[in-house]
């Protein structure tokens, strides 16, 4: 897909590495979490103002390459599915050479943060997410022709 959104840029710090010398899994998760919030902000979700939130309900991570202290990383994100109350997204973490180090697929549900119950995505956000998803699929189909 050519329409991936850059949602994170950073570096692996020495304190993020474990006793085996590579970045510990907790830091992959943290960097992916930051990418999620960036993607949601691109869709127009603003949580502090409306008492709403997002809750991850499912996540699958695949580790394909180890990362070490000093490695620059970028996360690219795309939307896979937009439903009435949830969004399924895919993130890929790549090193400075463009090689994929890890991917995660995540389902997030829009919630009323006060009562902790799933609620509809705001219509403008849902519309923007669907447009983004359609643009990404059109770009992907163009590549495949």
pLDDT in tens, 21-75: 999 999 999 999 999 999 999 999 877 667 889 999 999 999 999 999 999 999 9
Segment 107-131 mean pLDDT: 93
Residues whose CB is less than 8 angstroms from the CB of residue 15 and which lie 6 or more positions away in sequence, other chains included:
none
Radius of gyration (Cα) for the chain, nearest Å?
16
Residue extents of the structural domains in the chain:
5-144
Q: What's the CATH superfamily of 5-144? A: Hotdog Thioesterase (3.10.129.10)
Query: Between these two residues, 47 and 122, which has the higher pLDDT value?
Result: 122
Q: Average pLDDT, whole number, for the chain?
A: 91
Is 80 exceeded by the pLDDT of residue 137? no
Rounded Cα distance, 116 and 1, in Å: 35
Write out pLDDT tens, residues 78-88. 999 999 999 99
Question: Do strands 100-112 and 52-63 pair parallel, antiparallel, or not at all (unpaired)?
Answer: antiparallel
User: Do 89 and 80 meet the contact criterion of CB atoms below 8 Å apart?
Assistant: yes
Residue 46: what pLDDT?
79
Does 3 have pLDDT greater than 90?
no
The number of C-alpha atoms within 13 Å of 43 and in the hemisphere containing its C-beta is 30
Provide the pLDDT for residue 95: 97
Q: Quick one: pLDDT at residue 1?
A: 38
Instruction: Report how far residue 37's alpha carbon sits from residue 8's, in angstroms, rounded to the nearest whole number.
Output: 10
């Amino acid at each position: 897909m050519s329409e991936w959104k850059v949602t994170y840029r950073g570096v692996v710090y020495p304190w993020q590495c474990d006793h085996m010398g590579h970045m510990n899994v907790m830091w992959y998760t943290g960097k992916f979490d930051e990418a999620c919030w960036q993607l949601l902000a691109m869709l127009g979700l603003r949580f502090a103002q409306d008492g709403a939130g997002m809750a991850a309900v499912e996540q699958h991570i695949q580790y394909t390459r180890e990362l070490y202290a000093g490695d620059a990383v970028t996360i690219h994100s795309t939307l896979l599915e937009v439903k009435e109350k949830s969004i399924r997204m895919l993130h890929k973490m790549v090193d400075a050479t463009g090689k994929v180090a890890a991917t995660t697929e995540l389902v997030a549900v829009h919630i009323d943060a006060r009562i902790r119950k799933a609620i509809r995505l705001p219509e403008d956000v849902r519309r923007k997410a669907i447009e983004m998803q359609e643009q990404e699929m059109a770009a992907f189909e163009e590549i495949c022709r």
